[in-house]
Amino acid sequence: MRPAAIAFATAGFLASAAAAALVATFAVATLEDTTERNSKSALIASGQSWAQIETDGTIVILTGTAPDERKRIQALDAISGVVSIARIRNLMDVEESIPVIAPRFALEILRSGTDVSLIGITPSETESDIIHDFIAGIDGVSLIDMKESTAWPAPKGWDAALQLGAEIMIRVERAKISILAGEVIVTAVVKSDAEKQRLQRELQSLKPEGVILSIDITAPRPIFAPYTLTFTVSETDTTLRCYALTPDGEERIVTAAKRLGAPDTSACEIGIGAPTESWSEVAVAGMDAVANMGGGIFEMQDSGVTLTGPLGFDAQTFNAIVQSLQKALPEAYSLQAALPEAEIVAGSETRPRFHAQLRKDGSVVLEGVTIDEISKRTLLIYAEAKFGYGKVNDISKIANFAPHGWTSRQLVALEVLAMLTKGDINVTEDSVAVTGTGETEGLYDAILSKLEIGFGAGARFTIVVEENIPEPVIEDLPDAKECEAEISALLQENQILFAPSSAVIESASVKTINQIATILNRCKHAAFEIGGHTDSQGREEMNLNLSQHRADAVLDSLLARNMLLGEVTAVGYGESQPIADNETEEGRQDNRRIAFKLLEETTDGQN
């Protein structure tokens, strides 16, 4: 070959090689850029913006410091949905966790017949929840579960105490069972002394070694002690709670009380224990003293008598009424008198009180004191679950003088108020007063039973209620498709939101779930399915599991509102049913959704 031809061929070969190298370099750069861009988008979409991405050819280097181990795994999962796990170099660190103090675990079980309430903080629930397993053995149980669980391990003695508390719960129909690590405290009410003795022996036989068991069982006694009477006249009502020695004595006391404005349903319990046979005469004299002041409180406890004047009453006139009453009292009785000062009542209370009022329009007002911000929030949430979202006006104040167990008493008070259609309940450290009307047969006995369980037989109860049983009506059930349309319209406007890559419902969606619960309560004759859906980012299996967890979370949140719902199931569909384009952020947002679907009935009535 000629030298010129050889030179020409060599030049051509070198030019081709240079062009191929340039194309390869450009392709690698394009691949790195695309991989880096897609990986960053996946991290941002999953909420892991703290993580950093570097690319080296086909290799993706993942760096950064994760807030916790779960976030680190979520970042790795997000990237594995974009590139193969074999191409990922995980160089991420995890922040050192700050040690926290373990909570004080405590659980209170309140049982009144088939009504069971759980309140407190417990270790993480296992697959076999002891309390729920035992409750399943009580026929027709109505459960209110307000306990919270944490990831902390159970302290020493907790499991044994929990087992003992559950055993006691199924044996005592009316009781408050307090469970602590290695300790169980039982306060119960039974029908007779014989039952009291039998139950004490039985409960002691259940106590395992290493668990402290305290038992306080109350049974009816033939003697009232202390022997008491309370007559109250306020601007809104007049109430009487009393014991009487004889039927004639009861008639004298009740007749005088009615003459002064007490309800026609007023009555005294008859029993022995009065300090003298002149008990009813002293009672009438004290009530007349309250009437002369136009208001106030007259109290008798055994031989001690207390007269409290109304706020702002003239001190000189009050002293004259006190002296007149003193002269009318038999020698065995001692009188104390008190005239409250305006500045103390206005802003310097040191004794806890709680007042809840259910008005005719269904709205509720809460006032008085609560222990702390958490208790105040718990009280509001519980009241809204009982009376409806937006129906409760909480004007209570936080006070450091509220006693231990005050929140539990307030919750019991709200349970009692929910038994009424209109009324009031007033709670102090040692007394409860309930007035109003309700639509339940045996209303008085039902309220008394709930109060005895919640406050103990040692508290003083004043219950003045009327039964107003409505005529039975045929329920006008709404069309199930209308309910489905209402829920769909509601979710179209306010979709249920979750924390990124989790099944934790955000607080902004609580109102939406409350509204859905109200709609389902009206349509409890129909069956609905809660469908969980995700976008297509991430692995398909991971999306399926996440959608199921989110659907379950919505179902659990609805059931926690303690409303009567129909058959509701939860199903996760993952990314299999998109309603928008997953290639755009707007489309992915639409695909991440919770949907409610009416389950149509077949001809034989089965779903």
Q: Could you tell me the residue ranges of all domains in the chain?
A: 25-94, 106-218, 228-343, 349-467, 480-598
Q: What is the pLDDT of residues 442-451, one digit of tens each?
A: 888 888 888 8
432, 461 Cβ separation under 8 angstroms: yes
| 3-state percent helix, strand, coil for the chain, nearest multiple of 5 | 40, 25, 35
Q: Please state which CATH number belongs to domain 228-343.
A: 3.40.1520
Yes or no: domain 106-218 corresponds to CATH 3.40.120.10 = no
- Say what the pLDDT of residue 478 is: 75
The helix (H) or strand (E) run that includes residue 355 is: strand 354-358
Q: What is the pLDDT of residues 157-173, one digit of tens each?
A: 988 999 999 899 988 88
* Token duo for residue 552: 């379950």
- Say what the pLDDT of residue 471 is: 66
Distance CA 555, CA 548 (A): 11
- Say what the pLDDT of residue 525 is: 84
Which of 454, 445, 416, 430 lies closest to 352, judged by CA? 430
Same-fold call for 25-94 versus 106-218: no
Is residue 226 reached through a cis peptide bond, with omega within 30 degrees of 0 on the bond before it?
yes
- Work out the mean pLDDT of the chain and round it to a whole number: 82
51, 43 Cβ separation under 8 angstroms: yes
Rg of the chain's alpha carbons, rounded to an integer?
35
Distance CA 97, CA 99 (A): 6
For 435, how many CA atoms within 13 A lie in the half-sphere containing its CB?
18
Beta bridge partners of 300: 229, 305
The residue ranges of DSSP E strands in 379-471, in sequence order, are 392-394, 397-398, 422-427, 431-438, 460-467
Residue 1 has pLDDT above 60, yes or no: no
* Token duo for residue 212: 């402290």
Residue 27 has pLDDT above 70, yes or no: no
Question: Which is more confident, 362 or 255?
Answer: 255
- Superfamily (CATH) of domain 480-598: OmpA-like domain (3.30.1330.60)
pLDDT band at 399 (very low <50, low <70, confident <90, very high): confident
Averaged pLDDT for residues 489-496: 91
- Say what the pLDDT of residue 168 is: 92
Distance CA 589, CA 604 (A): 40
Sheet hosting strand 296-301, strand order edge to edge: 268-270, 238-244, 228-233, 296-301, 304-308, 334-338
**Residue 283 CA to its chain's centroid (Å):** 43
Predicted TM-score (pTM) of this structure: 0.28
- Say what the pLDDT of residue 20 is: 46
Which of 510, 522, 527, 515 lies closest to 488, judged by CA? 515
* Token duo for residue 337: 């008198």
Distance CA 75, CA 60 (A): 13
218, 200 Cβ separation under 8 angstroms: no
Which of 288, 113, 106 lies closest to 180, judged by CA? 106
**In the block, residue with structure tokens 């993706």:** 60
347, 369 Cβ separation under 8 angstroms: no
- Say what the pLDDT of residue 430 is: 79
**Residue 304 CA to its chain's centroid (Å):** 41
Residue 37 one-letter amino acid: R
The helix (H) or strand (E) run that includes residue 87 is: none
Which of 371, 389, 383, 444 lies closest to 415, judged by CA? 383
Averaged pLDDT for residues 362-383: 86
Q: What is the end-to-end Cα distance of the chain in Å, rounded?
A: 89
What proportion of the chain, given as a percentage, has pLDDT over 70?
87
* Token duo for residue 345: 């009542």
How are beta strands 228-233 and 431-438 bridged, if at all?
A: unpaired
Residues 6+ apart with CB under 8 A from 25: none
Averaged pLDDT for residues 282-309: 92
455, 412 Cβ separation under 8 angstroms: yes
Q: Please state which CATH number belongs to domain 25-94.
A: 3.30.1340.30
Which of 511, 558, 501 lies closest to 530, judged by CA? 558
Residue 267 has pLDDT above 70, yes or no: yes
Residue 347 has pLDDT above 50, yes or no: no
Which of 54, 74, 21 lies closest to 539, judged by CA? 74
- Which range, 258-262, 460-464, 503-507, 558-562, is most confident? 258-262
Distance CA 580, CA 487 (A): 20
Q: Which of 336-340, 496-500, 565-569 has the lowest mean pLDDT?
A: 336-340
Determine the angle formed by the axes of helices 279-293 and 315-328, rounding to 10 degrees.
170
Which of 281, 221, 219, 289 lies closest to 245, judged by CA? 281
Q: Please state which CATH number belongs to domain 349-467.
A: 3.40.1520.20
